[in-house]
Structure 1
Amino acid sequence: MGENSQHELPANEMYLQTLVVLSAICTGAVLLQNWSSILAAMKGRNDPIETTPLKLLVFRRNYLSVYLLNMLGDWLQGPYLYPLYRSYGLSVADIAQLFVLGFMSSAVIGTFIGSLADSFSKYHVLAFGRIFGGVATSLLFSVFEAWMIREHYARYAFSDTDLSDTFAMCSFWNGLVAILSGGVANVAVDVFGLLAPFILAVYVFFGAFMIIILTWPENYGDKLENNGKIESVFTSLAEGLVYIKKDYWMFAIGMTQSLFESAMYTFIFMWSVAIEAAAGDSANIPFGIIFASFMV
């Protein structure tokens, strides 16, 4: 027992040291990239907070609070989804099918699935969970941005530059949240077990839900009406296909994005499998720390 612990500690320290080194390099790169802006802010010139209208600041903070809480809830689940499935006794092939189900449902929303009976096997319950998880992922990366863009232009009439800056802030803070989520998930698993990050994510999502209920007005985007009815989704999809057919570059961008996403999703599944195969025992692997290193 003692001999095993002596061998485990250096490995865990290596993962943590790797995270620290990568974080230091990334921090230095960010500071170097924004050095001129930092110097200007230190001298009291061109302070972005002072020059930004109060209404835009309030709007951004409100949106970012909801957006980042939802992203945090999603990121918390990332490092330990594969180990959780393994703890249920599923094979790598079964887990691969579950991941594919999630990715497919993220692209194509299937019919509504009714309540689950006790007669369903554990694999089928997890499969239904992955389908709903995929649908939730699709909504996560679309509806919040759609609401923000609509509010940005229709309600407040902010400029295109302001919108670009808002997206830049979302990207930057989302990266920090992803790194933080890996460390938080790792500590939660060490203290409370494999289910801890997923339970914590529920509370995080609930916090975002309460902010939305209390502060967000409803908007429906651009409605294309025909005799008082919203144009069907299928008609919108058909029009999208027509635009893609007319514009080669739009098709090229779509294919490039699809190929990139395919490679990324393959990595999302395989990194845990590869590390488990190399280490030999997934119970002692700090998946959260490794995940945080990838996010850096």
Structure 2
Amino acid sequence: MLVTAYLALALLLAACLGLELSGCRAKPLSRACCNPSFLRFQLDFYQVYFLALAADWLQAPYLYKLYQHYHFLEGQIAILYVCGLASTVLFGLVASSLVDWLGRKKSCVLFSLTYSFCCMTKLSQDYFILLVGRALGGLSTALLFSAFESWYIHEHVARHDFPPEWIPATFARAAFWNHALAVAAGVAAEVVASWLGLGPVAPFVAAIPLLALAGILALCNWGENYDRQRAFLRTCGGGLRCLLSDRRVLLLGTIQALFESVVFIFIFLWTPVLDPHGAPLGIVFSSFMSASLLGSSLYRIATSKRYHLQPMHLLSLAVLIVVFSLFMLTFSTSPGQESPVESFVAFLLIELACGLYFPSMSFLRRKVIPEMEQAGVLNWFRVPLHLLACLGLLVLHGSDRKTGSCFTY
């Protein structure tokens, strides 16, 4: 399993590099790429945002392993994950309004503080303190996916008066580097936890300086902005009306809830499936992120002028790939017939499908959901998504079956 993980990572990175280089040769430079003021503004945003993302990804490979290292049972670990998901959905509902009222810069600094405390709780073996840490993690995740983007969009348009058409260029580049940072974070987690022998808590400790630096840079270099006119009840009410009045929006929300809840359960299950077979967890995680990056590159190529494939077709393909992967996992995780390599390949296919799914879903949301209602609609989308994931983990918690049998559900 050790050799398979390293070989898979090398092959996937080579494939991603080849596709990205071919894409760079074919893509002409935009006006945004030639504007020095815009590039400096992007750099001010990226240096804080990328530190925050790197700290977030650094914790992912060894979370389950840490709880296992503290000798918690699988059901207890499932409850910890449920607490994190429940916290994310509760704070996610109010995060946008909280960020607008408190201030986007202050919210980014608050993110660095709460996530640092979340990492510190991992040093304790007390179950209640770990539950508090998961709740803080939910708040931090909600802030990460609302405060930074809101701050950038306001500064881009209101303070610097750059064309709104340049905003997608910033977030497209951020999406690519988000994957690259995830790959690097997996390797870094493996280095500090396994190669240096510091144990599964080491990646969480290593994330704290990154979070502190992100908070300091935001505090010193960023200006503050607010939007206190956008009321929470009005945002959620408008989103709910849009969701219930348009069948396409409701269908899109159903697809998101079903697909992404499976992904959340996969995040819980991959470690107990592969770890008993000696898998290097950080390298496995980097392989997953490389597969996701490969899927994103394939999406870009498939929707280019050369091939003209529609995002709906790629979304359907992603769903089919996940169904096939789960079918593989029902056999590769069967008691007495475990095949870790086959399970690893199935997990890679799930991540490849995610690389196709997320840009497809993002495109369809922009097409179907009115821009003014997107924040409210996305808040409602997250509720069934996290509830389904919590339900799946609670079923696992209350079951005497092995972890792998969950793939048959």
Q: TM-score, normalised by structure 1?
A: 0.81
Counting matched residue pairs gives 258
Instruction: Give the equivalent residue in structure 1 for 2:402.
Output: none
Structure 2 counterpart of 1:123: 127
Deviation at 1:246, TM superposition (A): 2.5
Amino acid at match of 1:75: W
Provide closer, same or farther for how the CA distance between residues 251 and 52 of structure 1 changes in structure 2, counting only shifts above 3 A. farther
Counterpart Cα distance in 2 of 1:246 and 1:52: 43
Are residue 29 (structure 1) and residue 14 (structure 2) matched? Answer: no
Q: Which residue of 2 aligns with 1:295?
A: 289
- Partners of 1:135 and 1:261 in 2: how far apart? 19
Q: Distance in 1 between matches of 2:71 and 2:225?
A: 45
Are positions 1:90 and 2:72 aligned together?
yes
Q: Structure 1: which 5+ residue stretches go unaligned?
A: 1-10, 38-45, 111-119, 225-229
Q: What is the match of residue 189 of structure 1?
A: 193
Q: 1:55 to 1:121 in 2, by over 3 A?
A: closer
User: Is residue 2:20 matched to residue 1:14?
Assistant: no
The alignment yields a C-alpha RMSD, in angstroms, of: 2.2
Cα drift, residue 53 of structure 1: 1.5
Q: In structure 1, the residue corresponding to 2:50 is in which secondary structure?
A: helix
Q: Give deviations 1:10-55, integer Å, cap 9, x for gaps.
A: x423321221111111111222233323xxxxxxxx6559952121
State yes or no: 1:245 paired with 2:238: no
Query: Percent identity at matched positions?
Result: 35
Structure having greater relative contact order (Cα 8 Å, sep ≥ 6): 1
Match for residue 7 of structure 1?
A: none
Counterpart selection for 1:177 from 178, 181, 194: 181
Amino acid at match of 1:20: A
User: 1:121 Cα deviation (Å)?
Assistant: 8.2
Give the alignment of 1:6-155 within 5 angstroms: 11-37=1-27, 47=29, 52-109=34-91, 122-155=126-159
Tell me the secondary structure at the aligned position of residue 72 of structure 2.
coil
Comparing 46-55 with 21-30, greater Cα deviation is found at: 46-55
Alignment CA distance shift 1:159-1:254 (3 Å): farther
Aligned to 2:334: none
Change beyond 3 A, Cα 1:49–1:88: farther
Please give the alpha-carbon distance, in whole angstroms, between the structure 2 residues aligned to 1:151 and 1:203. 26
Which residue of 2 is the match for residue 273 of structure 1? Answer: 272
Residues 247, 153 of structure 1: alpha-carbon distance in 2 compared, 3 angstrom cutoff: farther
Structure of higher CA gyration radius:
1
CA distance in 2 between partners of 1:275 and 1:202 (Å): 28
- Letter of the aligned partner of 1:143 in structure 2? A
| Cα displacement (A) at 1:285 | 3.3
CA deviation profile, 1:190-245 (whole Å, cap 9, x unmatched): 21222111011011001101110111111113x32xxxxx73x2343122212222
Letter in 2 for 1:173: W
Indicate the residue corresponding to 1:214 in structure 2.
Answer: 220
Helix, strand or coil at the partner of 2:161: coil
Q: Which runs of 4+ in 1 moved over 3 A?
A: 46-51
User: Which residue matches 1:163?
Assistant: 167
What is the one-letter code of the residue matched to 2:286?
A
Contact 2:275 2:281 in 1 (8 A): no
Does 1:200 pair with 2:206?
Answer: yes
Q: 2:30 & 2:7 partners in 1: Cα distance?
A: 35
Q: Is the 8 A contact 2:32 2:38 kept in 1?
A: no
Deviation at 1:60, TM superposition (A): 0.7
Structure 2 unaligned spans of 5+: 93-123, 291-409
Instruction: State the Cα deviation string for residues 161-192 of structure 1 (Å, max 9, x = none).
Output: 21010110110111100000000010011212
Q: CA deviation at 1:250?
A: 2.5
- 1:272/1:177 Cα in 2 relative to 1: closer, same or farther (>3 Å)? same
- Following the alignment from structure 2 to structure 1, what is the Cα–Cα distance between the partners of residues 33 and 282? 39
Change (3 A) 1:152 1:108: same
Whole-Å Cα distance in 2 between the matches of residues 47 and 29 of structure 1?
18
Q: Separation in 2 of the partners of 1:252 and 1:50?
A: 36
Deviates more, 1:20-29 or 1:198-207: 20-29
Question: Structure 1 residues 50, 104: closer, same or farther in 2, change over 3 A?
Answer: closer
